Every structure is written in structure tokens, then in C-alpha cells.
Amino acid sequence: MKRSITRLLMAPSVILLLIWMIVPLSMTIYFSTIRFNLLYPGQNNFVGWMNFEFFITDPGFMPAVLNTLILLISVLIITVVLGVALSALIDKPFFGQGIVRVLLISPFFIMPTVNALIWKNMMMNPVYGVFAWISQSLGLEPIDWLSDFPLMSVIIMVSWQWLPFAILVFVTALQSQDTEQKEAAQMDGANGWHIFRYLTIPHLARPIAVVVMIETIFLLAIFAEIFVSTGGGPGYDSTNLAYLIYNQALLQYDVGVASAGGLFAVILANIVAFFLIRAVGKNLTV
């Protein structure tokens, strides 16, 4: 096929994505250098780095960066480790395998807002929640999850949502694992753990890279769960960058600072992406 046809076929995607990337980004860059508060319209003078200074010196800034990273890394670890274990567990046939699979992946279909509302109210509520009731039945003091462990609560919600995705991808990958290879290993005297450790895990290396990559894209932008459940609090304890910027923009109407923060988020995402894309890029067969 001719080069020109190839170009033609790719053009719509490339052009749209280019616009999608460049236009808002350059606007963000522009806004970040001017004074731009919706409460004081018309006073849009150039202010240089001031918005950045303002954003970085915000008391919420450091906690937000840390929370973003902690959230990202904990959820990645939880979902990948449990995902590998569970998908290996349900790989061999057993009674009701199909139903178990459906149950396991269901949380992925639940929208983040609902996810947060179920957990916040029906699970984690210190008085009426299921957890509280379990604690009480065991004779323990119920925990007020959202106030005492806000970030952990968010991590639980998000992991619950993304674990099924990891399971889905790993189950798909395991289906393609060579059974003859496993049989050969068994003939060589390998037990279940050996097979898991030396055959299954290496076989899953690329799917793991893929899961990490895709989850990272979404985890860096976690918003709805926090918005609906903790509202970023108490204090800044469960505020991540996305939520902090949202706060600036829509609650304090300071577009300039929000844009500076947005750029900061872009930079952070790019730092993470740089490593990730390189790792996954190596695994992409082009």
C-alpha cells in the first residue's frame, strides 16, 4: 500500500489528538502566567511565575504531591500482587469458575461515584456501616475510616475498583500460557510454586507492564472518589493534586493558580510517564 494512503488513514487520529493536546495545553500555559480570577474579571495582567509560587507554597501542595504518589504506588502494588495471585487461583477449573470470575470482575463496572458512595456510607460509616457492625460484634471500638484513615479509605476504594481490571488482563494472559511448557516443568519435578514463580510470573511480565501503564494513567487523575467521599479532608489528608487543582479552579475561582497547578500535574505525569512508557515501550512489538 502507498505511503500516502497510510498517511490519509492516520491523519484524523493524529490531527485530533494533536489539537486535543496542544490547544488546551497552550491555553493552560498562557493562563498560568496571568492573573486570572473569575471573581475579579478584567484584571488579566501578566504576572510571570507568581501563580506557580502561589501554588507551590500553598499549604496543600506538599501533602497533595505525596498523597498522589502514595495513592498511585499503593494501588499499583495491591492490584498487581492480588491480581496475579487471584488470576492464577482461578485459572484452573473448579466448581462455579465462571460465576466466580464474573463476581470478581464486577467492581470494574461500578462507576467511581457509586463506588465511593457505597464504601463511604454502607461500608465505612462509623455508626451504621457494615465494618462498624463487624467491629462491634467482635467487641472492638468501631473505626471512623474516613476521618481517621482518609487516604487509606480512598486507597481501598480505588483498589477495589481496579483489582478486577488487573484480574481481567491477567486471566486473558494466562489463557495463552503454554500448557505443554507447564507439563514439561512438571516432568522436570517442578511443584505448583515453582511453576508459578518460574513460568507464570515471567509469562505475565508484559501484561503486568500493561496493567501498570493503564492504571497509572487513571490513578494519577483520581478525582471522583475523593470528591464524593472525603472531599480531600480532613485538612489535606486525602487531597491529591487533581483535587487540589480542582479546588483552586472551581472553589476559589483562581484560574491562574489552577493552571499553574495543572501544569505541575502535567509535569508530574510526564515524569512518571517517562519511566513507564519506556518500560512498556520496550514491550511493545511494533
Partner 1 sequence: MMTLNQQRKFKTFVTGAFAWLIALLLFFPIFWMFITSFKTELQAISVPPSLFFEPTLDNFGIVQERSDYLKHALNSVVTSFGSTLIALLIGVPAAYAMAFNPTKKTKDILLWMLSTKMLPAVGVLVPIYILSRDYGLLDSRTGLVIIFTLMNLPIIIWMLFSYFKDLPKEILEAARMDGASPWDEIVKVVLPLSIGGISSTALLSIILCWNEAFWSLNLTASEAAPLTAMIASYSSPEGLFWAKLSAASTLACAPIVIFGWFCQKQLVQGLTFGAVK
In the complex with partner 1, which residue's Cβ is closer, 73 or 283?
283
CB 35, min distance to partner 1, A = 14
**Whole-angstrom distance, CA of residue 141 vs CA of residue 128:** 13
CB 59, min distance to partner 1, A = 19
Q: How far is CA 97 from the centre of its chain?
A: 28
CB 147, min distance to partner 1, A = 13
Q: Cell for 142? A: 468501631
In the complex with partner 1, which residue's Cβ is closer, 190 or 266?
266
In the complex with partner 1, which residue's Cβ is closer, 151 or 241?
241
In the complex with partner 1, which residue's Cβ is closer, 130 or 184?
130
Phi and psi angles of residue 89, each rounded to the nearest 5 degrees, phi first: -65, -40
CB neighbour list of residue 242: distance below 8 Å, 6 or more residues apart: 68, 220, 221, 222, 223, 226, 265
Q: Collapse the DSSP code of 141 into the 3-class scheme (helix H, G, I; strand E, B; otherwise coil) and give the result.
A: coil
Q: Collapse the DSSP code of 61 into the 3-class scheme (helix H, G, I; strand E, B; otherwise coil) and give the result.
A: helix
CB 262, min distance to partner 1, A = 4
